[in-house]
A = this chain, B = another copy of it.
């Protein structure tokens, strides 16, 4: 039983460790040789270049200006200083709106915390139920609802508070939905011309024995949208080609690495073995080997390119169809084209950067099947993931290791090492699984066949949230694996479930407080250090980088990672809302989390992250919906808890709460969601008219010609069009941030993580 003092101590330790992280970060970020790790966003935007090229050699790597170390927390106010409109210009609407999630957290929980501490805490504290009941309790419990005797009139306060909290949360959510919808519409309205505004993705084009796909598309749209059709771009199945290109790139990296090695040490030519992973087989000269491999791959690639262009088989029954006006594209995207609702399916084309090309070649008919398979797989993943892990754990014990690697036996038989392994091994399978979980979920979404990165991320986020809800939240409250819970729940009365969970909630408060500190506070502080990109950048820099261009590719700015970070925030919303009435003592920890996270992510978004796409905050309905669900869960659990506390006369009042909340959700959905799904004709018409007036002779066809070509078809003219990048970007707003030290240098859009997508952009005039 943790007392307030214990928790205070833990908090102090966690705060100190966070502080330590910040100090390390402050030191690292000031070193010029880390500049590209901590400020990649500015490089990518071309607003920063290599610091101080002239000057002493040492200065190039280490910052010797000691005054700068004194101001080691200066990034905090700096992160807050950039106003929101500038942030949108700088990092895109997605990032700016993502930060608003943390802000909502603060907006919801700061007033709730103040209210709860001024009302609920005194009411809970001034009871002596726990003292009388002779159970073991800590003073944290004395602050919680557990301290109220059964059937007490004081529960009315808690019910009232539940109402106040629900109304306040809904009010904040409503306002926020309104603001974000407005921001999105404003963003879309003020955007420059973009290819996806004119383009619709047509899928499942029915085969025709007499016409090729391309002719078919042209005829269909010339007939059915006669005044509006402009052009189209068929979709090739270039997955094999992409693989070849990727392989070649990999070989090129190895060649570069060996070349560099040879340059540094000209006495010995590097060698490698030709077998599996270079571990066995014949020894050959590495440079020669890779050069010949690359030549072979280049030939294969050229053949594949030829094959795709000649055979009709590689043309998928899908096409990007562009129209003369935004109005016509909006019309085509929102209407049904033919009698049969499963063919000629039209939908907005994703932004070219956002297209997930690989999935465009999935036959449409298999999508339903894929969706079913993924749902079933996800269900089993969520509820039964513990089974294989338990199996692995039972295998990966000391005896197992001794059997497989008998020569280690004397080593691991030593008491210290033995106890370490025994304590460590059972956990490692679980930890590994949890680390790879987002990747697994992303693979699931990819298998499901979505065609845009933004949709993939949103889908993974939903699944991750459900997983956390079941396994972290419920799993911690009712200890036991999820599949055991499932069994219990099925055999329980429907209205028994909230009671079972509700009763356990107050007991787990201290656990979740610790969880928030370790996972939340420390995790956020660790995020700013960027340890993994730091190491990888320096490794790459040392082994691969030859030219300035290579160095740019070695930068990995990363992105917000909506699919993992958003579900994490949602977990804190859930904890906050559930414990607000039950154990208000948990609330300050949530508030600190949101405040810290807001600071850190704002800094990272300004200086580090580089979004791969811009969905104009299309994720907001998901965020809003999940907070609502958290609210409903909290209400149902409170209902269950009070049910066992014999505060029976309050039941009807508490039933009304989730009903009202869901009604509110439906209202919001109806009122604001269309802004995130559809494109109103009036807006389209306005932009069209404006553009016609401003630029009547614009060559739209030329502009759209190469917009939706598979990225691998563009790599050929990689170099000569690199300068084209800048034109695509919005006009740079002069910024006064101190990070902008030098004049703009042409730079590539994207890090090495997904080069294929970024290259699309370059083609645009």
Contact = CB atoms under 8 A, between A and B. Distances in A.
Interface of A: 185, 223-225, 227, 330-331, 334-339, 341-342, 344, 368, 372, 490-496, 663, 667, 670-675, 678-683, 685
Given A224-B681, A331-B331, A494-B490, A675 B185 contact: no
Contacts of A681: 224-225, 335-338
A292 B496 CA distance: 70
Given A334-B336, A336-B334, A663-B372, A341 B675 contact: yes
A371 to B, nearest CB: 10
A631 to B, nearest CB: 19
Contacts of A674: 336, 341
Protomer copies: 2
A683 B339 contact: yes
B334 A335 contact: yes
Contacts of A372: 663
Contacts of A683: 338-339
A561 to B, nearest CB: 31
Nearest to A493: B493
Contacts of A344: 682
Nearest to A223: B685
Given A334-B336, A341-B675, A493-B492, A667 B368 contact: yes
Nearest to A684: B224
A681 B678 CA distance: 18
A336 B224 contact: no
A578 B490 CA distance: 24
B493 A339 contact: no
Contact of A224 (B227, B337, B368, B682): B682
A348 B405 CA distance: 74
A264 B373 CA distance: 81
Q: Which of A225, A330, A493, A685 has the most CB of B within 10 A?
A: A493
Given A330-B335, A339-B675, 11 more contacts: A185-B339, A224-B682, A334-B335, A334-B336, A337-B680, A338-B682, A339-B680, A339-B682, A341-B671, A372-B663, A491-B493
A338 B672 CA distance: 12
B680 A336 contact: yes
A678 B330 CA distance: 16
A672 to B, nearest CB: 8
B337 A334 contact: no
A218 to B, nearest CB: 15
Of A331, A372, A663, A670, most B-chain CB atoms within 10 Å: A331
A244 to B, nearest CB: 37
Nearest to A333: B335
Contact of A342 (B341, B492, B670): B670
A693 to B, nearest CB: 14
Contacts of A682: 223-224, 337-339, 344
25 contacts: A223-B685, A225-B681, A334-B334, A334-B335, A335-B335, A336-B678, A336-B679, A336-B681, A337-B681, A338-B680, A338-B681, A339-B675, A339-B680, A341-B672, A341-B673, A341-B674, A341-B675, A341-B678, A344-B682, A368-B667, A368-B670, A372-B663, A492-B494, A493-B493, A493-B494
A334 to B, nearest CB: 5
A192 to B, nearest CB: 19
Contacts of A223: 682, 685
Contacts of A225: 681
A663 B670 CA distance: 27
Contacts of A227: 227
Q: 6 nearest interchain CB pairs? A: A341-B674, A493-B493, A494-B494, A336-B678, A334-B335, A338-B682
Nearest to A685: B224
Nearest to A185: B339
A102 B225 CA distance: 42
Contacts of A331: 331, 335
Contacts of A496: 493
Contacts of A336: 334, 674, 678-681
Nearest to A683: B339
Contacts of A678: 335-336, 341
A354 to B, nearest CB: 22
Nearest to A674: B341
A683 B494 CA distance: 49
A250 B341 CA distance: 50
Contacts of A671: 341-342
Contacts of A673: 341
Most-contacted residue by chain B among A224, A225, A227, A334 (CB, 10 A): A224
A339 B184 CA distance: 11
A224 B667 CA distance: 27
Nearest to A327: B224
Contact of A495 (B338, B368, B490): B490
A452 B228 CA distance: 34
Contacts of A675: 339, 341
A683 to B, nearest CB: 6
A671 B364 CA distance: 13
A274 B682 CA distance: 59
Contacts of A330: 335
Contacts of A338: 680-683
A685 B368 CA distance: 30
A280 to B, nearest CB: 48
A331 B681 CA distance: 10
Contacts of A685: 223-224
A594 B672 CA distance: 47
A163 B408 CA distance: 58
Contacts of A679: 336
A667 B367 CA distance: 12
A685 B337 CA distance: 10
Contacts of A341: 670-675, 678
A483 B693 CA distance: 67
A683 B336 CA distance: 10
A593 to B, nearest CB: 35
A35 B679 CA distance: 58
Nearest to A671: B342
Nearest to A663: B372
A379 to B, nearest CB: 11
Nearest to A678: B336
Residue from the set A335, A337, A496, A685 with the largest chain B CB neighbour count within 10 Å: A335
A494 B494 CA distance: 5
A495 to B, nearest CB: 6
